[in-house]
Amino acid sequence: MKDGTLLSVIVPVYNGGRYLNACLESLSCQTYSNLEFIIVNDGSTDGSQKVIEQFCERDSRFRLISQANAGVSTARNNGIDAAKGDWISFIDCDDWIEPNTYSDLMEQICTNQADAAMFSYSVDYVGQQPQEHRFKKDVCGVIGNEQAMELIYRVAPFSVTKVYSRAIIGDTRYHIDIFRGEDTIFAIEAIKNAQRIVCTDTPYYHYVQSEGSAARGKITARQLTGSVALKWMLDFADEFYPMLHNSGVNGYVNIMIELGYDIFYFRFEDKSILKAWKLECKKYRKEVYAINGRRSVLGLKTFLYCLSPRLFYFVMLPFRKIKHGQ
């Protein structure tokens, strides 16, 4: 295709550390020519600002926006507002993408007159073999809205593994009061407006599992908002995509159980939320059994958690230590 359509790539940066250079280098090497890279420095205190400035000096496609630390959602929203492209994509500052990512995706979008693209990814563990997560062949090609939404709910929740037309984004922005699962909510709200979506099994995106990744580390009050995100997804499915109700229930119950485990594991002081989560799990317990079976993994987890979140933690702790080689 002709490289005439501008694509804006938004990169929120907070203390990007040793991975930031690789991320920005992977952008500078893109074979698609009509790109702008909006790098939003979210109040970094390491050397990230200097690294970004160096890329801006050597490559005019890079633009720097600096803001006081306000979180990744605010950074992405400011990037969207500053973007000039008719197409928008995102990448996290400790990840990287293949050189042909945007040339391939924009070619497929243009050829198929699509509103968005969804692509596969690889999880790169430091010092270990990468694990590819590919879409099944039977969903690749041009898919419709409901099928794309089903993929988001079940296997493709990340907002970074997609390219969006500005038209389907519209006024959609990241929720600044949710700090876990907010990227999935954004993807859902945007893709809801798409009719034709290109889906490919090529793992263009490399999700680097570093010690500084947002999904790792001790539990925080912000991470507990993951339960709010999954409840939002359940309510959204019930209103617009009833066929995804079961996925919504499973996701909602599972996140409460897993966060409940983390509250004990990381010795989070405020355990008051556990009572409310236990009541919520009891509310959906029969549905979980009906959907998955009582002896399924989620069925057993739900049974134990509804008896006692503390009991669930102590029962699961030795099994998880064995699983993670501790």
Residues 247 and 159 reside in one and the same domain? no
Query: Is 304 inside any structural domain?
Result: yes
Residues 112 and 180 reside in one and the same domain? yes
Q: What is the overall mean pLDDT for the chain? A: 95
Residues 166 and 291 reside in one and the same domain? no
Q: Which residues share a beta bridge with 96?
A: 206
Find the mean pLDDT for residues 151-177. Answer: 98
Q: Which DSSP helix (H) or strand (E) runs through 130?
A: none
Number of domains in the chain: 2
Structural domain including 316 reads 223-323
Query: Is 214 inside any structural domain?
Result: no
Could you read off the pLDDT of 227-273 as tens digits, one per residue?
999 999 999 999 999 999 999 999 999 999 999 999 999 999 999 99
In this structure, what token pair is assigned to residue 234? Answer: 């359940």
Could you read off the pLDDT of 129-152 as tens digits, one per residue?
899 999 999 999 999 999 999 999
Q: Compare 325 and 70 and report the one with higher pLDDT.
A: 70
Query: Is 89 inside any structural domain?
Result: yes
Query: Is 216 inside any structural domain?
Result: no
Query: Is 128 inside any structural domain?
Result: yes
| Radius of gyration of the chain, Cα coordinates, nearest whole angstrom | 20
pLDDT band at 210 (very low <50, low <70, confident <90, very high): low
Return the SS3 of 143.
Answer: strand
Q: In which residue are the tokens 């938004």 written?
A: 10
Domain harbouring 44, CATH code: 3.90.550.10
Query: Where are the strands (E) in the chain, listed by range?
Result: 7-13, 35-42, 62-67, 87-90, 96-97, 116-125, 131-133, 141-143, 162-165, 197-209
Q: What percent of the chain has pLDDT over 90?
A: 91
pTM greater than 0.85: yes
Residues 183 and 35 reside in one and the same domain? yes
Find the mean pLDDT for residues 7-32. Answer: 97
Residues 193 and 238 reside in one and the same domain? no
Query: Is 1 inside any structural domain?
Result: no
17 and 50 Cβ atoms separated by less than 8 Å? no
Out of 157, 175, 209, a domain closes at 209
Query: Is 215 inside any structural domain?
Result: no
The bridge status of strand 131-133 relative to strand 116-125 is antiparallel
Query: Is 2 inside any structural domain?
Result: no
Residues 171 and 274 reside in one and the same domain? no
